[in-house]
Amino acid sequence: MKPSHPLRFRAALCVVAVCAYLASRPAVSAPAAKPLSSFDPQAKALVAQMTLDEKIGQMTQPDQEFIKDPSDIEHYFLGSILSGGSSDPKEGNSLEAWTNLYDRLQRHTSLTRLKIPILYGIDAVHGHNNILGAVIFPHNIGLGCTRNPALVEKVERVTAEEVRATGIQWAFAPCVTVPQDIRWGRTYEGFSEDPQIVRQLAGPAVRGLQGSDLANPLSVLACAKHFVGDGGTAFGSARGGRGLDQGDTRVDEATLRRVHLQGYISAIEAGVGSIMPSYSSWNGVKVSGNQRLLTGILKQELGFQGFLISDYNALDQVDRDFKKAIGISINAGMDMAMVPSKYKEYIADLKQLVAEGVVPMARIDDAVTRILRVKFAMGLMDKNRSPLADRGLARTFGSPEHRAVARQAVRESLVLLKNRNHVLPMAKTAARIHVAGKNADDIGNQCGGWTIDWQGKSGTVTPGGTTVLAAIRKAVSGKTAVTFSKDGTGAAGATVGVVVIGELPYAEMNGDRADLHLAPEDVAAVANMKSAGIPVVVILFSGRPMILDAVLDQADAFVAAWLPGTEGQGIADVLFGDYKPTGKLSFAWPRSMAQVARHPGDPGYDPLFALGYGLSY
């Protein structure tokens, strides 16, 4: 594309050079960035020029889906916009549609008095997962099994580049939760049940997204979430008395710090610019309205210099009276409110709360200063730099180089739980390999939730990926027959069988489950394959450990593949011995449902496979 402006042309050349450099460099931790508070002189000078309406606008984040008139951006001086889980452009989910949406909304900020660009946020939790053709990485539970901080940083660096290709500059990631009960539907968003593993990987994830300089055109603002204790809620404490999502974490402060705070410590050390408080409660008090947690511990004790953004409609849960909830949350330390549809009501109520003296102007100024210091750090306030998307980045979006990083992440995340009689690695010259299972040739099931759709879905959800069946067919010699049946029948006479089973896609709320036994069709597919009298390799796609029962006994080899994303070739790399399995369990594997929420030191703790278990060849 011919550049339309000399400054943009020079920026494009710079981006190309940076891309070449990043592709060639080893994955090492970036040097520490400048403290966000170093931008306070510029931020405070701008705050001093702002009206109350302009300040409150910076503290407001609606969802683009509910902005019916884009002129609201200049009328309300909006400082941020998000796209929620399935809040997509009307034109579809293509890279071009997303980029056009971003640019269309961002242009409205040039019509405001101060011309402050919007921060656009999106849940890029395993790649730029809302966009067709993006590289989808393993979910965090798999990355936790790699025990490889440099790889995690590299994964998030690629994610940042693909996010910036759409113009978007803010990813609601990484999730640094420490899930303590695998019945929780967000378990897969956590690196591990072990807080030290989470702490080890949270900092590299932030550095991967933000780089060494937030002003770099390939960096995005990271958002550590969900502060704090979202992975420790008691079963049945959620709204409606079912499940764990958005429930109550009932522990003392020492436990909260020891288990649930560790990822935030390393994220803050890495310079994370935003943090999202949790929907959940701590001992009955909503975190989003807890001043002790948000201001006392996070901002004052830990020295967090960025800003806090509430979760989607989270203020509604702080108090039944929306206006009162706003006052509680903002005074507790919330700096920006994610108010998808009620942004006009929020703005009016917050303005009235200031007039009534309920929310002090000093709290407003502090919140806006925190937001603006981040915008200055990101280079958004540089008048010589366009806030619009750099469309030249489309060249590397979903590229083979990016997919190679995901392929590495897949193979390093695999955990070999069983390998009787050295069935693995398989020979590429085997006469016949029979593949089976509902997940063997389904890219949607392979990616899981937060993939194009919020909850994910089965089927061909995105182009460019490789299923396990396709990867096996690509890996074997030309003389090897690869046959397939979904239910495992027809395997007689094969050299070896591969059955790919597991969960169907889900995300928060819908993923809470009281029973983690395998689906009947999965059990049947393994039994059908085993009845053919051949060695059987079972691959499990899941967002958490599952209760295996007889399936483990019937399997000659068993691989926990988690939710690996689009690059199924990483699985074939290990199945055929091009790479040895190196993954180690990031969660202990329970032998029964009675074990699912037990940890070392608890009565009756006796996992089937311990935390850290993993075989190799």
The catalytic site residues sit at: 311, 508
Distance CA 273, CA 346 (A): 24
Residue type, 3: P
Angle, alpha carbons 234-237-240 (nearest 5°): 150
Q: How far is 235 from 218, CA to CA, in rounded Å?
A: 41
What angle is formed at CA 572 by the lines to CA 568 and CA 576, rounded to 5 degrees?
175
Cα–Cα distance, 435 to 468 (Å, whole number):
9
- Residue ranges of alpha helices (H) inside 305-395 are 322-332, 343-355, 361-377
Q: Report the length, in residues, of the chain.
A: 617
CA atoms within 13 A on the CB side of 541: 34
Q: In what order do the strands lie in the sheet with 170-171?
A: 80-83, 119-122, 170-171
Partner residues linked to 210 by β-bridges: none
Asked if residues 134 and 127 have their Cβ atoms less than 8 Å apart, the reply is yes
Q: For the sheet containing 536-541, what is the strand order?
A: 415-419, 557-562, 536-541, 496-502, 432-436, 481-485
Beta pairing, strands 281-282 & 248-249: parallel
| 517: three-class secondary structure by DSSP | strand
Structure tokens at 393: 């980045």
Choose among 193, 218, 195, 196: nearest CA to 208.
218
397 CB-near residues (< 8 Å, 6+ apart): 95, 133, 134, 162, 165
- CA angle centred on 323, ends 337 and 50, rounded to 5°: 55
- What is the rounded CA–CA span in Å between residue 5 and residue 568? 42
CA 594, 248, 229, 62: dihedral to nearest 10 degrees? 130
- For 194, 201, 249, 361, 584, the CA distances from 150, given in Å and listed in that order, are 19, 9, 32, 43, 16
Query: What whole-number distance in Å separates Cα of residue 343 and Cα of residue 321?
Result: 15
Q: Count other C-beta atoms under 10 Å from residue 119's C-beta.
A: 27
Q: Considering only CA atoms, which of 102, 8, 114 is closest in space to residue 385?
A: 8
Tokens of 532: 């053919």
Pairwise CA distance, residues 436 & 538, whole Å: 9
Nearest alpha carbon to residue 471 among 355, 578, 389: 578
